[in-house]
Structure 1
Amino acid sequence: MSKPKKGQTEFVQWMEPLLDCLRALGGSARPKEVSNWIARELRLPPEITEVTIKSGANRFHNQVQWARQYLVWEGLLDDSKRGIWALSPLGWKTRIDDDAARTIFLNRVRASQSLRKQHASSDALPVPETADTAPPEESQELDLLDVLKGLPPYGFELICGRLLREHGFEDVEVTQRSRDGGIDGYGLLRLSPFVSLRVAFQAKRFKDVVSRSSVGEFRNALLGRAEKGVFITTGRFTTDAESEASRDGVVPIELIDGEQLVQLFQDAGIGVKPKTIYEIDHAFFDQFRHEP
């Protein structure tokens, strides 16, 4: 593949590898798994995969999300389950190259422009004019993440303790801030009636990335105090931080970044209310746009 191009339609180049990824992973995957797969298989350099946008989100992942949105509109992906990207029956058998991907984009732009002219409607298809815009499905997630980032430090630690409890942890306690020793709280994870783990967690409101050194410092705090660690952040982790968390021969650490954090809140129904939204099926109306 040629060197990625900057600009409004940068996301178009990720449509083909996105479909390839889902086929390779059995037809479905979580969003971050898709971005990681593409970055790994195409051997993308850090200057592409590590750049952030104004909101603090990862720019590359944002572009992959836009590629996914257009594939959904094209009927190649199934969007019936939130948090899971899945191939539709059409997507399984459809192969697209760079030209086909660009055609998908241009067709949607023309449809959007046509709707705006005919109805001056705000329901026309959104077109990402810059890398700072979020696809429709991601906008609410970003709103929730902004709320979490706006909490005071101790409030964020408390709500992370609540999150762990809602996801099955027992005896969750948040440490006193002046005596936390690098650990924000503890919980007991019962694996069976006979086996349980003492888990320590750290909760940090980061806008940007969490470095390897931060993960290493947390592990040092765990020694002799817990059998496993959980590092929760509103930001994201560098590749080196991820490597440090899974290093052999030391206390294992689970990393929960901003995207995963939002999903966990939604799964547990904490701080969110279900809402039914009807999205216009533009593909349905395409069949009625032909003049006799």
Structure 2
Amino acid sequence: MKHLKNNSNIADSHQPCVLIHARIEASAEWSGRLRVYVLLAPHLQVGGWGNSAQQIQLMGKDILLAWKDSTHLAMDVDVGFVKTSCGYVGASDGWQDLRDNFQMDWQFSRIEDGNIALIGQIDLTKHKQFTLGLSFGDTRHAAVSALAQSLSAPFAEHRTRYIEQWRRVCSGVANLDKFSGDGGRLYRISHGLLLAHEDKTFAGAFIASASIPWGEARGDEDLGGYNWSGIAIWSTAPRGFWLVTIQLLHSGRSSISLAHSARTAVSPKTSGSMAHLTGVASSSMRSLFL
């Protein structure tokens, strides 16, 4: 029997980096034979096409980079990679390489301007547990620096801080358990999901229409009716504004609702002038001050 054990996925509390920690458990017959790979298909700036990737060395270790215009990501694992490669999806990517003989035979160091995928074989020769990091930045240096800082601290420290901060932000949530049929479980999950969509730079800014299915459900040509123009759209439209604000008010997050309203009130139009609140937004704004 062989599998990943105690797989944990969290975000670094201070860096734009996702951390995945796992421990490998394998029976004696698989000891020394089991190989673990990580496969990443970057869809930077809300699109699979036009992405590029490269393998570089940092402090004697191979790490994988991807970018599209001014958006960059970096991927590494604390125990190191045995091999890395990057290729075009469906032609030279790691999945195509592995599926014929379950081994990495290709090692392409750079790929440009396409629908791409990156792969790395995780080094399990000395350790049976590892932490994988995936960081982001508006420059290559920013992404690589965030990755290096995140992986320099033990995963246990990240996890402790992550739990503490989520407990703190959820401590003031209104108790609506008695009004639900599941003891408030779905309500608390929904509240956490909503907060996870708040911008980490501008308080009160939220991703527009989080209910729209992305990922494999839609291609680059179908962005759900929004003109993204390569950047995320925040929920300043009346419908999105109303839903986010009311949900936060119901959960007792009046301070975040106020920040959201203020953010919308001062959001500039494409012409450069300041946007006026619509009737729906204005009524929500007034309710916050009553």
* TM-score, structure 1 normalization: 0.27
In terms of fraction of residues, the more helix-rich structure is: 1
Using CA pairs under 8 Å that are at least 6 residues apart, name the structure with larger relative contact order, 1 or 2: 2
* TM-score, structure 2 normalization: 0.27
